Structure 1
Amino acid sequence: MFIILLLLLRKFAWGPIMNMMKEREEHIANEIDTAEKNRKEAEQYLEQQKEEINRAREEAQQIIETARKTSEVQGEEILSSARAEAERVKANALAEIEREKDLAVQELREQVGTLSVMIATKIIEKELDEKEQEKLIEEYVKEAGERL
């Protein structure tokens, strides 16, 4: 009976069970291969991402360095421009001061000339003694001072 059961099991059960085990083994092997393939792809993708991150960092560093250099150049240009403008304003101010001084000197000369003529005219009109001439000069100088 045992042998018959064994023969029946071998004929009807053993073949399908072995086929099922083979299929299961092949399925597991395929799953392992697929998992290994996916793992390798993930590692490659991870390596690519690391390379891209490194490139992005290098580009960012280059951009920062370029911006720093540009800002330094612009800062120097601004300082140079400001210095040139200050020198120009200073030169203009000095020229204006010189013009005003020349005008004041010229005006003063004209007033002195006018006063001299007025004093001479008064002296000629009157023959005055020395005290009266000094008094007259002081009055005209005082009068000229009030005009200024």
Structure 2
Amino acid sequence: MLFVLLDFSPIKPDFGLFFWTVLIFLIFWFLMGKMAFGPIKDALKKRENDIQDALDESKKAREEMANMKSENAKMQAQANDDRAKILQEAKDMKNSIINEAKDKAKEEANKIVANAKIEIDNQRKAAVNDIKNQAGVMAIEIAESLIKKNLKGDAEQEDLVNTLVDKFNLN
């Protein structure tokens, strides 16, 4: 209804209507540029910077990850080398301990054998001395019994004793 009263024609607009429309349009876009597009532009710029920062951090993280992987590989290799050295040292120590134990066992066995030989020799000498003593005692007993049978009188016994005493005094 308002269009009817104003004699409005959309095909042939009036200059005043055109002027005010353009002026309001320009003011609208000026205000939009100041009020809306500035913050939108700032938000887009901030978002773009955030995305770029995230990409840079991602790239940096990938580089750090690659460096960490290479360092990890180096550390793994070093750990493997250290483990191999420790195992080799343990094997060498084991062989050394075994060889020392064998040497000590041989020395101990040689000492035991030497002590056994000495003991056997001592026992053999003791047995020989015992046999000699027993043989001497038996010889004395046999001689005593023979002499007693042969020397029945006191005079014969005194002559034998004097002869033996003289013989021992000469020696």
Tell me whether the two structures share a fold, i.e. TM-score over 0.5. yes
Shift in Å at residue 8 of structure 1? 3.3
Q: 2:13 is matched with which residue?
A: none
Task: Trace 1:1-148 onto structure 2 (pairs within 5 A).
Answer: 1=21, 5=25, 8-9=28-29, 12-13=32-33, 14-127=37-150
Count of matched residue positions in the alignment of Structure 1 and Structure 2: 127
Gap regions ≥5 residues in structure 2: 1-20, 151-171
Output the CA distance in 2 between the equivalents of 1:26 and 1:114: 126
Q: 1:134 is matched with which residue?
A: none
TM-score, normalised by the number of residues in structure 2: 0.64
Output the CA distance in 2 between the equivalents of 1:54 and 1:6: 72
Counterpart residue identity of residue 59, structure 2 = E
Higher relative contact order (CA 8 A, sep 6+): 1
Shift in Å at residue 50 of structure 1? 2.5
Gap regions ≥5 residues in structure 1: 128-148
TM-score, normalised by the number of residues in structure 1: 0.73
Structure (1 or 2) with the larger CA radius of gyration: 2
What is the CA RMSD across the aligned residues, in angstroms?
Answer: 2.3
Higher helix share: 1
Counterpart residue identity of residue 8, structure 1 = F
Residue 113 of structure 1 aligns to a residue in which SS?
helix
Shift in Å at residue 32 of structure 1? 0.9
Percent identity, aligned pairs only, is 26
Counterpart residue identity of residue 72, structure 2 = Q
